[in-house]
Homo-oligomer: A and B are copies of this chain.
């Protein structure tokens, strides 16, 4: 593979292709990309502060506020002051939020599998192994 395209160009192009694929799925569930990222982060585990959530998904804390407002209004997350330190907002999914995240993720997984289905089995598993090893730190999208 001596004469290949730049890695960054290939990866970013693939990323945009996947994001374009996900956009209609998210729209069908009336949720933004950041909204879905937040639901997924909270699905993995609840958070004690909005700043921790922001850091965890690589977003600025000010950027999350409108997202959290919307999710809370739609009763997909709970967001209540910590009785022990009322500056802090405890964040967790509601049952509706948990179900919605699972539904969206299942739809996305279906689309991903369709895309990956164009690859040979061995390339597919190696791609996922390599991505899992390399993606590590960094923002949510």
Instruction: For the complex formed, measure the closest distance between the CB of A66 and the CB atoms of chain B, giving whole angstroms.
Output: 21
Complex: chain B residue closest to A134, CB-CB: B14
Q: Does A96 sit within 8 A of B, measured CB to CB? A: no
The residue from B6, B115, B123 contacting A105, defined by CB atoms under 8 A apart: B6
> What is the total number of copies of this protein in its complex?
2
Instruction: Report chain B residues within 8 Å CB of A12.
Output: 15, 18-19, 139, 141
B139→A1 contact, CB < 8 A: no
Main secondary structure of the interface of A (DSSP, over half): helix
Given A6-B105, A108-B6 in contact, is the A11-B135 Cβ separation under 8 Å? yes
Q: Does A118 sit within 8 A of B, measured CB to CB? A: yes
- Please indicate which of the listed interface residues A7, A12, A14 has the most CB atoms of chain B within 10 Å of its own CB: A7
